[in-house]
Structure 1
Amino acid sequence: MKKFISLSLIILFLSIGNVFAHFQMIIPDTDVVTSNKHLNLKLKYIFMHPFEQNYMNMEEPIEAGVYFNGKKQIFTKSLKSYKINNLSAWKSTYKIKRPGDYIFYVIPKPYFEPAEEKFIQHITKVVVNAFYLENGWDNKIGLKAEIVPLTRPYGVWKGNTFRGVVLKDGKPVPFAEIEVELFNDKGIKAPNDTFITQVIKADANGVFTYSFPFAGWWGFAALMEDDKMIEKDGKKYPVELGAVFWLKVYDTK
């Protein structure tokens, strides 16, 4: 006997498949400062679906700052709001004063996602090197959730392989699931929706590996459940805690 799938069920499957990954982003105007013209480093803080180029509204972050030479500097109050497609994003300018590795981070407010019935909080990092002094790109900076790179996260070619370790409260997260996505500002077409968000898993030590097929900004979001829940309208919801890391990949000219 032939079996038929109802149209309503097909629509349901399609709607589930179209829930794309959310990514918190920090994008600096350069990942390696090589001249005085980039000493006033410009950073953008954006919440979006990066491959699909669909922006989302971002509330003012809980905390934004930079880790350099073993010290953390918080500059949340200096962030300025601006609009992308009539949605809120944030930006800042940071004065580079010394050579070395600067780890910029942001702790956003939890975002409620009705379709998934949970809050999302993606704690995000990006490393900027200044004048080629490599002195801390692999540092832990004490965030509740973070990815610590095991591969230097700048000077990366298309085809290179990146390794990192997922930490929660400073300890490795075994078999963490990591979503990987390209900031697709070049209009690359995906063969189907499975190509939009790549999915990999860490090993028993929380270590993961990924090789880059395209140049551009790439984001890694290691997902885990937070220990706390957040109440909304009299009901408690789980919190998806994300450790997010961004880096830029270059192509040959």
Structure 2
Amino acid sequence: MTGKRILMALIMVLTLGAGTAWAHFGMLIPDTDGMDQDKRSVNMTLSFSHPFEMVGMELEKPAEFFVVANNEDKTDLLGTLKQTKVMGHTAWETSFTPRSPGLYTFVFDPVPYKEDAENNYIRHITKVVIDGFGEGENWNQPLGLKTEIVPLTRPFGNYAGNVFQGIVMLDGKPAPYTRVEVEYYNEKGDKQAPADRMITQEVIADGNGVFTFVCPWKGWWGFAGLNADSEPYNGRELELGAVIWVKMQ
């Protein structure tokens, strides 16, 4: 191969590589999706990353972090956060012990992340739902967040291979035809994608904001319904992500 052809091939490789974009995910990962008599509290980490590729990013201390008990009682947990590292980058951790059985939904709303590669900011409002002592009911109710995924499949106590279905909500209303990115938290690093395009799965919600996805592996799965905010942030588009994490057993 001539020097000119080698140069052209290298340019092509670099160009294609530059076009490969991994999905960003706010991550709120507890050490259980259900508390019981043997497991009375929950420990969790908050981070921002590419979960399949296990590539971390910096997570500034969130603007908000709270828990909602039984879809009603909101408790601020921001002051409980302690700085830690996840995937080599700044993250946060805490623990929580409920006072009574019930349904507990944890939510963090980050400070928007400046993403120069996409010339925008990213705000992933991230939640996870935990069953407290077998009393987790009414798990399909919205919390009134700026954007969120309201589950239509119970978001805990699932088998690998189950379907997960949810509604993407934006400003209190279903968001039709929202693009939903799906990624597996490859915590053990034992999963390999045969091609880059298979790292992040994508589905499109229907006209009622409903999406469906089958989770083939056990572990944590993240779902991010993505829309642009109607108002820019610091002169750039603000990506609003409605993120929920669900464990498959």
111, 123, 147: which one aligns with 2:149? 147
Code of the residue aligned with 2:42 in structure 1: it is L
Q: Residues 101 and 133 of structure 1 are in contact (CA less than 8 Å); yes or no, is this contact kept in structure 2?
A: yes
CA deviation string 1:174-213 (max 9, x = no partner): 0000000000023201101111000100000000000011
1:42 alignment counterpart = 43
User: In the superposition, relative to structure 1, how do residues 169 and 11 fare at CA in structure 2: closer, same or farther (>3 Å)?
Assistant: same
1:217 alignment counterpart = 220
Q: Residues 47 and 86 of structure 2 are in contact (CA less than 8 Å); yes or no, is this contact kept in structure 1?
A: no
Distance 1:76 1:139 in 2: 23
Q: Residues 102 and 137 of structure 1 are in contact (CA less than 8 Å); yes or no, is this contact kept in structure 2?
A: no
Is 1:169 matched up with 2:171? yes
Provide the aligned C-alpha RMSD in A.
1.5
CA deviation string 1:71-123 (max 9, x = no partner): 21111122111123542100111111211110110001100111110000100
Which moves more between the two structures, 124-133 or 81-90? 81-90
Give the secondary-structure state (helix, strand or coil) at the position aligned to 2:229. Answer: strand
1:129: Cα distance to partner? 0.2
Give the secondary-structure state (helix, strand or coil) at the position aligned to 1:230. Answer: coil
Matches within 5 A, 1:171-250: 171-186=173-188, 187-231=190-234, 236-250=235-249
1:39: Cα distance to partner? 2.2
Q: Residues 23 and 200 of structure 2 are in contact (CA less than 8 Å); yes or no, is this contact kept in structure 1?
A: yes
1:135: Cα distance to partner? 2.0
Distance 1:68 1:51 in 2: 30
Matches within 5 A, 1:67-86: 67-69=68-70, 70-86=72-88
Code of the residue aligned with 1:55 in structure 2: it is G
Give the secondary-structure state (helix, strand or coil) at the position aligned to 2:197. Answer: helix
Distance 1:9 1:218 in 2: 34
1:32 alignment counterpart = 34
1:30: Cα distance to partner? 0.6
Q: List gaps (5 residues or longer) in structure 1.
A: none
Q: Residues 34 and 132 of structure 2 are in contact (CA less than 8 Å); yes or no, is this contact kept in structure 1?
A: yes
Distance 1:71 1:84 in 2: 30
Give the secondary-structure state (helix, strand or coil) at the position aligned to 2:140. Answer: coil
User: In the superposition, relative to structure 1, how do residues 218 and 9 fare at CA in structure 2: closer, same or farther (>3 Å)?
Assistant: same
Give the secondary-structure state (helix, strand or coil) at the position aligned to 2:42. Answer: strand
Q: List gaps (5 residues or longer) in structure 2.
A: none
Could you tell me the TM-score, scaled by structure 2's length? 0.93
Distance 1:16 1:145 in 2: 28
Alignment length, in residue pairs?
Answer: 241
User: In the superposition, relative to structure 1, how do residues 86 and 152 fare at CA in structure 2: closer, same or farther (>3 Å)?
Assistant: closer
Q: Residues 104 and 136 of structure 2 are in contact (CA less than 8 Å); yes or no, is this contact kept in structure 1?
A: no
123, 126, 145: which one aligns with 1:124? 126
Distance 2:79 2:69 in 1: 19
Q: Percent identity?
A: 42
